[in-house]
Structure 1
Amino acid sequence: MKRQHFLGSAFIVLIFTLLLSGCSLLPEKQVHYQRFGNGIDMRLTYYARRDRVTRQETRSTILYSALGASDKESAKQILDPLSKRFQGITGLTEKITYGKNYAKEKLTIDYKKVNLKKIKQLPGMYYSNTKSNRISLKKSEEFLKKNKFVKITDNKYKKFTKKELTQRTYSIKDFDKIKLASSSIDDDATTITDLTKQLGRPDSTQKTKSTGEERSMYLWYLTPSKTAYVSVYTVGNRINTKTLNRYQNTDKKINSSVFDSLQNGIAYDTIINTLGEPTRATVFRNGSNTYATLTYRDKNTTKTYTFYFTNEKLISKRESS
Structure 2
Amino acid sequence: MKLKKMVLGLLALLGAVVLVACGAGTKKSADFQLLTQGQSDIRNHIEYQGDKMTLLKTTTTVLYSAIGANSKDDAKLMMEAQGSADWDGIKGITHEVEYKDDRFIETTSVDLNKVDFDKLGELMQLQTANGEKAKYLSYKLTKENFVNQGYTEVKDGKYKELE
Q: Do the two structures share a fold, i.e. TM-score over 0.5?
A: yes
Q: Is the alpha carbon distance of 1:126 and 1:39 closer, same or farther for their aligned partners in structure 2, counting shifts above 3 Å?
A: farther
Matches within 5 A, 1:1-321: 23=24, 26-37=25-36, 39-81=39-81, 82-122=83-123, 125-129=124-128, 131-161=133-163
Deviation of residue 58 (structure 1)? 0.9
Alpha-carbon RMSD across the aligned residues, in angstroms, is 1.9
Give the letter aligned to residue 97 of structure 1. Answer: E
Give the letter aligned to residue 79 of structure 1. Answer: M
Give the letter aligned to residue 145 of structure 2. Answer: F
2:75 and 2:141 map into 1 onto residues whose CA distance is 33
Give the letter aligned to residue 27 of structure 1. Answer: T
1:120 and 1:65 map into 2 onto residues whose CA distance is 32
Larger relative contact order (CA 8 Å, sep ≥ 6): 2
Give the secondary-structure state (helix, strand or coil) at the position aligned to 1:118.
helix
Give the secondary-structure state (helix, strand or coil) at the position aligned to 1:85.
helix
User: Would the aligned equivalents of 2:35 and 2:162 in 1 still touch at CA under 8 Å?
Assistant: no
Q: What residue ranges of structure 2 are gaps of 5+ in the alignment?
A: 1-22
Deviation of residue 133 (structure 1)? 2.2
Q: What residue ranges of structure 1 are gaps of 5+ in the alignment?
A: 1-21, 162-321
2:91 and 2:154 map into 1 onto residues whose CA distance is 29
Give the letter aligned to residue 76 of structure 1. Answer: K
Q: Is the alpha carbon distance of 1:104 and 1:141 closer, same or farther for their aligned partners in structure 2, counting shifts above 3 Å?
A: same
Give the secondary-structure state (helix, strand or coil) at the position aligned to 2:90.
coil
TM-score (norm 1): 0.40
Q: Deviations over 1:164-218 (max 9, x none)?
A: xxxxxxxxxxxxxxxxxxxxxxxxxxxxxxxxxxxxxxxxxxxxxxxxxxxxxxx
What is the number of residues matched between the two proteins? Answer: 136
User: Would the aligned equivalents of 1:115 and 1:133 in 2 still touch at CA under 8 Å?
Assistant: no
The percent identity for this pair of structures is 29
User: Would the aligned equivalents of 1:32 and 1:46 in 2 still touch at CA under 8 Å?
Assistant: yes
Paired position in structure 2 for 1:180: none
TM-score (norm 2): 0.76
Q: Deviations over 1:249-279 (max 9, x none)?
A: xxxxxxxxxxxxxxxxxxxxxxxxxxxxxxx
1:157 and 1:127 map into 2 onto residues whose CA distance is 28
Give the secondary-structure state (helix, strand or coil) at the position aligned to 1:96.
strand
Give the letter aligned to residue 114 of structure 2. Answer: K
User: Would the aligned equivalents of 1:72 and 1:100 in 2 still touch at CA under 8 Å?
Assistant: yes
1:144 and 1:133 map into 2 onto residues whose CA distance is 20
Give the secondary-structure state (helix, strand or coil) at the position aligned to 2:126.
coil
